């Protein structure tokens, strides 16, 4: 049965990197019998420009109907003056929420060929391989009440609500433990249980769920310490599970440890492994339209989609091997070239990198 | 007129490092005519053990009466099972709130002698000098309502409230801008204005206050990006101003960039420059009682106190010079020795390091 993939390229470099990912999917369709149909939709700033909303109803309908969603990137300075309810980001948040994509998997691992690109010393990061499991549909991102109100004394006040119910914590904890089972069997849950009751509850529930996974070593860490430890000695971590807002901060931090965020994919999954797949980097307005963005994170997101949503781990492996091969062959977009010399490597643009992957496939 | 200093050593290594700071103050009293009286009080876990509360009324009274407060560190695994309202941390939070210490200044700078200790590459961090201005009495730390409740369907839910009023944002923004004026005149305000209304309001107010400081270049950054940028290229920052919870995370991250958190002091100030001074490192239960903790962050906190609360910038300079001198002389506690050889440096314990500073004074 043909599976439908919603292709939402979004803003900035989104369309450029998505084009290469689509080529990869088309090759797999032809040469490996991957039975999929791609359908494009608008999301983010471009959707606002064309349809007046960052998540138009037809895009939402497409995403709901689809078996998986590929997303490029959203946002840009152009739309920052808009009301928060119409910003490109709301398109992304709306998709996460409407599709119930509560489990965000963000690997932060280093390719040996690119270890040099890290701002950290090689001995601190070489071999780094962390998986951050971020809760994605709860917390202060979606909590009510929220807004800006005027107090009785006439003063204005901004407010948001951090909130987690038991079942929300349980389901993400299970994802954390099960992810750890497939890896080094170490799960670190990150909270601020010494100050915030919401995360004191988080810790309590994660601990209880942990009883069902005696083979996984569970530890807890405060978020401020986690930010330090990720810099000090990141290799102490295997899988991290945390809340939406802490996960937002820590996963970006972790990805930067690699120095090659242009290489990092992510998956956002619902309870049935339907998912949305996107590079962890943003829309990079500064280089948009120049054709120099690195498409590998998006192509690796295709691999995650094949593995998690399309049941084709074989093809996921194939795509990941192709990416490793092009790195070994010396192909580098500007972002992963770093200070290395171009005589040593082949500096390529977005399309050339995409082509190198197609060749490797 | 004699100024009163409350000395709250707290838990873990607190008493050990505070003892050395007290020696420094006593030397200044004798040799430089610093007219102060030191009064000790209990706070944190030790206060709970002795008095049944992490912030006993007599300690609070002392802190209120005093002209400045020196704090060691609070907390430890021993007290983690306690109810959140009785944990050592509540002693610290209670002091911040009761004394209205809304402005937390956390420098993250690197001593040239210790640049090697950083987990980051030398070219990324050498010469690093950031000041983080963290709001300390608002936000989700103190916001109401908060707690753990049972929903109608019987499910439990943890919740907290992130909240900032206009006046709270204004006063910390002023501290941020004025700090920048004394430095490189660059202020970066960090928020999550693309998602959280509370920090959308924060951005709005900071921008408005900025109009009064045309000589300071104001920029804004989202907290997730800030966590990345601090790792990628930390020297882009001069002064950072941010909310309580984001400041908690980012200041710990920034301090770890230096690799020598045993060297970093902090000040928490009210509107009249009354302050509480403490090392940014914690109570380090693992090395407590061993006499090997680094007292320099606490001694440098004394310098901050002399400068901000006691009006003795001359003595602050003197203490800071003494610390630089002992580093130049090769004295190192274990935490700042790193991988360097002990033939090159003088490995010392807490008391010996304190004595080296006294000699340098
Ligand atoms: C764009 C923004 C709303 C989003 C988030 O905060 O979740 C992004 O930072 C991310 O991490 O995917
Ligand atoms: C101990 C804890 C309550 C405190 C905080 O979160 O503010 C600490 O992490 C700090 O940064 O001073």
pLDDT in single tens digits along all 361 residues of chain A: 899 999 999 999 999 999 999 999 999 999 999 999 999 999 999 999 999 999 999 999 999 999 999 999 999 989 988 888 899 999 999 999 999 999 999 999 999 989 888 999 999 999 999 999 999 999 999 999 999 999 999 999 999 999 999 999 999 999 999 999 999 999 999 999 989 999 999 999 999 999 999 999 999 999 999 999 999 999 999 999 999 999 999 999 999 999 889 999 999 999 999 999 999 998 999 999 999 999 999 999 999 999 999 999 999 999 999 999 999 999 999 999 877 777 789 999 999 999 999 999 9
- Nearest 5°: the CA angle B144, B195, A62 is 130
Out of B92, B246, B251, give the residue to mutate to test ligand 2, the one with the largest number of ligand atoms within 8 Å of its CB.
B92
Of residues B143, B166, B193, nearest to A156 (C-beta): B166
Distance B248 CA to ligand 2 centre (A): 7
Name the A residues in 50-89 with CB < 8 Å from any B CB. 75, 80, 84, 87, 89
Q: What is the pLDDT of residues B131-161, one digit of tens each?
A: 999 999 999 999 999 999 999 999 999 999 9
Q: At what angle do helices B313-328 and B296-308 cross, to 10 degrees?
A: 160
DSSP calls for B313-354: HHHHHHHHHHHHHHHHTTEE-HHHHTT--TTTSEE--HHHHH
Q: Is A100 exposed, middle or buried (0-12, 13-18, 19+ CB in 10 A)?
A: middle
Say if CB A107 and CB A215 are below 8 A apart: no
pLDDT at site A93:
95
pLDDT at site B278:
97
Q: Within 13 Å, how many C-alpha atoms sit on residue B146's CB side?
A: 21
Whether the link from the prior residue into A285 is cis, omega within 30° of 0, is no
Distance A133 CA to ligand 1 centre (A): 14
Instruction: Please provide residue B233's backbone torsions phi and psi, each rounded to the nearest 5 degrees.
Output: -155, 70
Average pLDDT, chain B: 95
How distant, in Å, are the alpha carbons of B76, B161, B214, B244 from that of B139? Answer: 25, 8, 28, 6
Considering the domain delimited by A1-99+274-361, tell me its CATH architecture: 3-Layer(aba) Sandwich (3.40)
DSSP calls for B25-36: HHHHHHHH---E
Measure the CA–CA gap between A115 and A260, rounded to whole angstroms.
Answer: 9
Q: Do B160 and A162 touch (CB under 8 A)?
A: yes
- Residues contacting residue A276 through CB under 8 Å, at least 6 positions apart: A63, A68, A69, A70, A71, A95, A96, A99, A101, A267, A268
Contacts of B227 in chain A (CB under 8 A): 227, 249-250, 252-253, 256
- Nearest 5°: the CA angle B152, B153, B157 is 75
Fold agreement between A1-99+274-361 and A102-271: yes
Nearest to A140 by CA among B139, B186, B19: B139
Q: How far is A121 from chain B (nearest CA, A)?
A: 5
pLDDT at site A80:
87
Whether the link from the prior residue into A203 is cis, omega within 30° of 0, is no
Of residues A93, A146, A195, nearest to B197 (C-beta): A146
Instruction: Please provide residue B305's backbone torsions phi and psi, each rounded to the nearest 5 degrees.
Output: -65, -45
Mean pLDDT of all residues in B30-42? 95
Say if CB A189 and CB A177 are below 8 A apart: no
B337 versus A275: the higher-pLDDT residue is A275
pLDDT at site A338:
74
Measure the CA–CA gap between A159 and A157, rounded to whole angstroms.
Answer: 7
Q: How many residues does chain B have?
A: 361
Mean pLDDT of all residues in B251-267? 95
Q: Is A33 exposed, middle or buried (0-12, 13-18, 19+ CB in 10 A)?
A: exposed
DSSP calls for A115-166: GGGSSB-HHHHTT-EEEEEEE-SSGGGT-SS-EEEE-TTS-EEEEEEEEEEH
Query: Is B248 a residue of the active site?
Result: yes
Distance B280 CA to ligand 2 centre (A): 9
pLDDT at site B119:
95
Nearest to A300 by CA among A8, A20, A1, A12: A20
Measure the CA–CA gap between B73 and B9, rounded to whole angstroms.
Answer: 7
Say if CB A139 and CB A249 are below 8 A apart: no
Q: Is A72 assigned a ligand-binding role in the annotation?
A: no
Query: Is A224 a residue of the active site?
Result: yes
How distant, in Å, are the alpha carbons of A49, A71, B97 from that of A79? Answer: 9, 18, 38
3-state helix, strand and coil shares in percent for chain B, rounded to the nearest 5: 50, 20, 30
Distance B181 CA to ligand 1 centre (A): 32
Q: At what angle do helices A244-258 and B223-232 cross, to 10 degrees?
A: 20
| CB-based pocket (< 6 A), ligand 1 | A 75, 89, 92-93, 248; B 194-195, 224
pLDDT band at B304 (very low <50, low <70, confident <90, very high): very high
pLDDT at site A156:
97
Measure the CA–CA gap between B266 and B282, rounded to whole angstroms.
Answer: 12
Q: Do A124 and B119 touch (CB under 8 A)?
A: yes
Nearest to A299 by CA among A287, A281, A273: A281
Q: Within 13 Å, how many C-alpha atoms sit on residue B210's CB side?
A: 19
- Residues contacting residue A91 through CB under 8 Å, at least 6 positions apart: A10, A43, A44, A47, A48, A53, A54, A55, A59, A74
Given its phi and psi angles, is residue A259 left (phi above 0), alpha (psi -120 to 50 degrees) or beta?
Answer: left
Helix (H, G, I), strand (E, B) or coil at B282: coil
Which CATH number is associated with domain A102-271?
A: 3.40.718.10
Q: Is B231 exposed, middle or buried (0-12, 13-18, 19+ CB in 10 A)?
A: buried
Helix (H, G, I), strand (E, B) or coil at B237: coil
> pLDDT over 90 for what percent of chain B?
92
pLDDT at site B56:
97
Helix (H, G, I), strand (E, B) or coil at B6: strand
Say if CB A52 and CB A21 are below 8 A apart: no
For chain B, the C-alpha Rg in angstroms (whole number) is 20
Q: Is B255 assigned a ligand-binding role in the annotation?
A: no
Q: Within 13 Å, how many C-alpha atoms sit on residue B97's CB side?
A: 13
Mean pLDDT of all residues in B243-261? 96
Q: What is the pLDDT of residues B46-57, one digit of tens each?
A: 999 999 999 999
Q: Which residues of A175-185 are buried (b: 16+ CB within 10 A; e: fewer)?
A: bbbebbeeeee
- Taking the domains of chain B in order of start, what are their residue ranges? 1-99+274-361, 103-271
Query: A with B: how many residue pairs have Cβ under 8 Å apart?
Result: 188
Measure the CA–CA gap between A192 and B248, rounded to whole angstroms.
Answer: 10
Topology (CATH level 3) of domain B103-271: Isopropylmalate Dehydrogenase (3.40.718)
């Amino acid at each position: 049965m043909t599976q439908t993939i919603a292709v939402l390229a979004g803003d900035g470099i989104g369309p450029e990197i998505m084009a290469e990912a689509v080529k990869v999917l088309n090759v797999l369709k032809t040469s490996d019998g991957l039975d999929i149909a791609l359908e494009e939709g608008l999301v983010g700033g471009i959707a606002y420009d064309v349809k007046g909303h960052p998540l138009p109803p037809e895009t939402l309908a497409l995403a709901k109907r689809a078996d998986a969603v590929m997303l490029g990137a959203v946002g840009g300075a152009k739309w920052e003056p808009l009301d928060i309810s119409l910003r490109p980001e709301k398109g992304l948040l709306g998709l996460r929420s409407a599709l119930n994509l509560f489990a965000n998997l963000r690997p932060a691992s280093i390719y040996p060929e690119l270890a040099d690109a890290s701002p950290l010393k090689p001995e601190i990061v070489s071999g780094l391989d962390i998986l951050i499991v971020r809760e994605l549909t709860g917390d202060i991102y979606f909590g009510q009440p929220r807004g800006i109100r005027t107090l009785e004394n006439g003063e204005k006040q901004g407010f948001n609500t951090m909130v987690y119910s038991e079942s929300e914590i349980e389901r993400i904890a299970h994802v954390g433990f099960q992810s750890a089972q497939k890896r080094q069997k170490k799960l670190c849950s990150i909270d601020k249980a010494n100050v915030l009751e919401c995360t004191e509850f988080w810790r309590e529930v994660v601990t209880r769920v942990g009883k069902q996974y005696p083979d996984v070593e569970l530890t807890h860490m405060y978020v401020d310490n986690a930010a330090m430890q990720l810099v000090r000695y990141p290799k102490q971590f295997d899988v991290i599970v945390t809340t939406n807002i802490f996960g937002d901060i820590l996963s970006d931090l972790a990805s930067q440890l690699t120095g090659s965020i242009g290489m990092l994919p992510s998956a956002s999954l619902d309870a049935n492994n339907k998912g949305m797949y996107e590079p962890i980097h943003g829309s990079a307005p500064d280089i948009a339209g120049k054709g120099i963005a690195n498409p590998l994170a998006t192509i690796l997101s295709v691999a995650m989609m094949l593995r998690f949503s399309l049941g084709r781990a074989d093809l996921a492996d194939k795509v990941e091997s192709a990416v490793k091969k092009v790195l070994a062959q010396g192909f580098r977009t500007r972002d992963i070239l770093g200070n290395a010399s171009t005589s040593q490597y082949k500096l390529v643009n977005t399309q050339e990198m995409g082509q190198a992957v197609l060749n490797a496939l």
